[in-house]
Amino acid sequence: MSLRLNTNYNELDKLWEVELIGEVDINSKSMLKEELLLLNEKKQVDFVFKCEQLEYIDSTGLGVLISFYKNVKVNDKTIHFEKLKPSILKIFSLTGLDKIFSIRN
């Protein structure tokens, strides 16, 4: 399974909503990185990743998110994750990313 992104700028809340569908891995990391950087260039605001349909993430995918977090943080913006599956939440917890990112379920 590959990765699909649905993106939307939420005018009311002034943030990007990014729905991650499928798998974030070595095969999709370049596409994800490019898309996120383009969104951040358009509007430098907070990001909400909707992860209800995110099936898998590997270390390269986590690396993309950490790198992107650094880009967002420069502008004092934040990244939130919503509705992580238990297996993915466990990866975030084991790697300490649950302390860096805001996670809402």
- The residues spanned by each domain of the chain are 3-104
| Beta carbons of 54 and 19 less than 8 angstroms apart | no
Which of the listed CATH numbers 2.70.70.10, 3.30.750.24, 3.40.50.1000, 3.40.50.2300 matches domain 3-104?
3.30.750.24
Side chain identity at residue 101, one-letter code: F
In whole angstroms, what is the distance from residue 6 CA to residue 13 CA?
A: 17
Average pLDDT of the residues in 26-43: 96
pLDDT(67) > 90: yes
54-86 burial code (b ≥16 CB/10 A, e <16): beebeebbbebbeebbeebeeeebebebeebbe
pLDDT(1) > 80: no
What confidence score (pLDDT) does residue 62 get?
A: 95
Query: What SS3 state is found at 84?
Result: coil
Tell me the pairing of strands 46-50 and 3-10: unpaired
pLDDT(88) > 90: yes
What confidence score (pLDDT) does residue 105 get?
A: 80
pLDDT(2) > 80: yes
Average pLDDT of the residues in 14-33: 97
What confidence score (pLDDT) does residue 38 get?
A: 97
